[in-house]
Amino acid sequence: MIKHIRIKNNSTVSLWDIPLLNYEDLLEQSISLLQDESCHCVNYFGYPHRDQLILICCIANDREHLITISSSVINFNSVLPSFTHHHLAFHLFEREIHENFGIKYSDHPWLKPVRYPFSRADKNSRIENYPFYAIESEEVHEVGVGPIHAGIIEPGHFRFICDGEQILHLEIQLGYQHRGTEQLFLKKNNLLQRTHFAESIAGDTVAGHTTAFVNLWESLCNYDAEDHLQFSRTLALELERIAIHTGDLSALCTDIAYQLGSAVFGRLRTPVINYFQRWCGNRLGKGLIRAGKNNYPFTKQLGDPLKRLFDEYERDFIEMYDEFKTLPSVLARLEKTGTVTKEQAASIGTVGMAAKMSGIPRDIRVSHPHDWYERMNHEPVIKHYGDVYSRTQIRKEEILQSIEIIRNMIKSIPPENKKRKELSFPAPDLFGISLVEGWRGEICHCAITGENGNLVHYKVKDPSFHNWLALALAVRNNEISDFPVCNKSFNLSYCGHDL
Partner 1 sequence: MDITGILLIIATTLFFPGIIIRIKSILSGRKGPGIFQPLKDIWRLFRKGAVYSETSSLIFQIAPAIYFSSVLAAISFIPFGDSPGLISFKWDFVCFAYVLALGKFFMIISSLDTGSSFEGMGASREALYSMLVEPAFFILMGSFALLTGYESFFEIFRSLHFGSYVSYAVGVLAAFVIVIIAMTENSRMPVDDPKTHLELTMVHEVMILDNSGFDLGLILYAANLKFAMYGALIANFFLTPGKEWFYSIPIFIGVQILFAMTVGIIESFMARFRMNHNPQFIFAVTSISLLIFLGVLFVTGKFIAA
By the criterion CB under 8 A, which residues form the site for partner 1? 141-145, 150-151, 165, 253-260, 262-264, 267, 327, 329-330, 332-333, 337, 479-484
Give the list of residues 6+ apart from residue 205 with CB closer than 8 angstroms, or none: 240, 244, 438, 439, 440, 443, 462, 493, 496
> Rounded to the nearest whole angstrom, what is the least distance from the CB of residue 326 to partner 1 in the complex?
12
What is the Cβ-side half-sphere exposure of residue 245, based on CA atoms within 13 angstroms? 27
Measured from the CB atom, is 13 or 263 closer to partner 1?
263
Minimum Å gap between C-beta 495 and partner 1 is: 20
How many residues in total does the chain contain?
Answer: 499
Query: What totals of helices (H) and strands (E) does the chain contain, helices first?
Result: 16, 14
CA distance 250 to 33: 41
Shortest spacing between CB 493 and partner 1, in angstroms: 19
- DSSP structure string for 155-203: --EEEEEEETTEEEEEEEE--TT---HHHHHHH---HHHHHHHHHTS-T
Q: Which is nearer to partner 1, 66 or 264 (CB)?
A: 264
End-to-end CA distance of the chain: 37
What's the closest the beta carbon of residue 263 comes to partner 1, in angstroms? 4
Closest to 157 measured CA to CA, from 97, 113, 204, 92: 113
Q: How far is the CB of 253 from partner 1 (least distance, A)?
A: 8
Nearer to partner 1, 101 or 258 (CB): 258
Smallest gap from Cβ 143 to partner 1, in A, equals 5
- Provide the minimum distance between the beta carbon of 239 and partner 1 in the complex, in angstroms, as a whole number: 24
Q: Exposed, middle or buried, 234 (CB in 10 Å: 0-12/13-18/19+)?
A: buried
Shorter beta-carbon distance to partner 1: residue 161 or 237:
161
Looking at beta carbons only, is 13 or 140 nearer to partner 1? 140
To partner 1, the closest distance from the beta carbon of 494 in angstroms equals 16
Q: What is the dihedral of CA 104, 5, 355, 363, to 10 degrees?
A: -150
Q: What is the distance, to the nearest Å, from the Cα of residue 295 to the centroid of all Cα atoms in its chain?
A: 26
Q: Cβ contacts of residue 329 below 8 Å, gap of 6+?
A: 258
- Number of C-beta neighbours around residue 165 at 10 A: 10
Of residues 278 and 325, the one with the C-beta less far from partner 1? 325
Residue 73 or 331 with smaller CB distance to partner 1 = 331
Q: Which is nearer to partner 1, 5 or 327 (CB)?
A: 327
Least CB distance from residue 481 to partner 1, whole Å? Answer: 4
Other beta carbons within 10 Å of 343: 9
Q: Which is nearer to partner 1, 147 or 453 (CB)?
A: 147
Closest approach, Cβ 155 to partner 1, in A, equals 15
Q: In the complex with partner 1, which residue's Cβ is closer, 131 or 151?
A: 151
Q: d(Cα 439, Cα 107) in Å, to the nearest integer?
A: 35
Which of these, 206, 185, 180, 349, lies nearest to 279 by C-alpha position?
Answer: 206
Interatomic CA distance for residues 186 and 458, integer angstroms: 7
- Distance, CA of 111 to CA of 81 (rounded, Å): 13
As measured in angstroms, the least distance from the Cβ of 337 to partner 1 is 8
Instruction: Give the residue with the Cβ less far from partner 1, 1 or 153.
Output: 153
- Residue placing its CB nearer to partner 1 in the complex, 106 or 259: 259
- Output the DSSP codes for 1-23: ----EEE-TTEEEEGGGSPEE-H
Between the alpha carbon of residue 416 and those of residues 238, 373, 430, the distances in Å are 20, 19, 30
Nearest residue to 338 via CA among 483, 209, 178: 483
- Calpha distance 50→447 (Å, rounded): 18
